Amino acid sequence: MMYKSILLASDGSDHSLRSANHAIQLAKCSGGKIDLVYVVDGDTSKQDVLHYSNKYEIAKARRAKVSSVEELLTEENVEYEVHILHGEPGPTIVEFANNHDFDCAVVGSRGLNNLQTMILGSVSHKVAKRVECPVLIVK
């Protein structure tokens, strides 16, 4: 099995750095490319628009959110592309994954908030159920 095209979902948390490490290892095995996905939900949209004066600043701030993951990817010399998407994290990642041809999707098992994970069921759970390609959930 070759992992030429890998989706990596990140919310900018420290935990998502661990997922990034696993995605990098997979990519290195087959000289694959990583598509780094960061999803902006409605409440984040509202907050960002309120706090930054224009869309360029907003874009910069969001790019900065995943900068630690990006640094890691550059350090490890893996080819990658960043996608900033809008919507509810779960369904948005699923839609993006199924509209492209990925060999594997890598997601973290924990979000920013433990309570939310417990009650709602995590984003990773939804993604694992509905994404058509193999999913690696990093614990």
Partner 1 sequence: MISRIRQEWFGNVRGDVLAGIVVALALIPEAIAFSIIAGIDPMVGLYASFCIAVVIAFIGGRPGMISGATGAMALLMITLVADYGLQYLLAATILTGILQILFGVFKLAAIMKFVPRSVMVGFVNALAILILTSQFEHFHGENWVMYALVGLTLAIIYILPRFVKSVPSPLVAIIVITSVVIFMGIDVRTVGDLGNLTQQLPIFLIPDIPLNFETLQIIFPYALALSIVGLLESLLTANIVDDMTDTESDKNKESRGQGYANVTAGFFGGMAGCAMIGQSVINVKSGGNGRLSSLVAGVFLMFLIIALGGIVVQIPMAALAGVMIMVSIGTFDWSSARNLHKLPKTDAAVMLTTVGTVVYTHDLSKGVLAGVLLSAIFFAAKISKVKVTEQIANNEMKMIYKVEGQLFFASVTDFLDQIDFEQGHWEEVEIDLTHAHLWDDSAIGALDKLEGKFEQNGTVVSYTGLNGESKALKQKIGGLSSGH
Three-state secondary structure readout of 64-86: HHCHHHHHHHHHCCCCEEEEEEE
| Strand positions, DSSP E, 1-139 | 5-9, 33-40, 80-86, 104-108, 135-138
Residue 95 binds partner 1 (CB under 8 A): no
Residue 42 binds partner 1 (CB under 8 A): yes
Build a one-symbol-per-residue string for 109-128: x at contacts with partner 1 by CB under 8 A, - elsewhere: ----------xx--------
Q: How far apart are CA 1 and CA 70, in angstroms?
A: 26
| Closer CB to partner 1, 19 or 124, in the complex | 124
Residues in the interface with partner 1 (CB under 8 A) total: 19
**Which of 4, 28, 51, 63 is the binder for partner 1 (CB under 8 A)?**
51
DSSP character at residue 103? S
| Closer CB to partner 1, 22 or 125, in the complex | 125
| Closer CB to partner 1, 57 or 71, in the complex | 57
| Closer CB to partner 1, 42 or 134, in the complex | 42
Q: How far apart are CA 111 and CA 127, in angstroms?
A: 13
* Block residue for tokens 């509209």: 99
Residue 2 binds partner 1 (CB under 8 A): no
Contact 109, 124 (CB under 8 A): yes
Residue 43 binds partner 1 (CB under 8 A): yes
Positions touching partner 1 (CB under 8 A) are 40, 42-43, 45-55, 58, 86, 88, 119-120
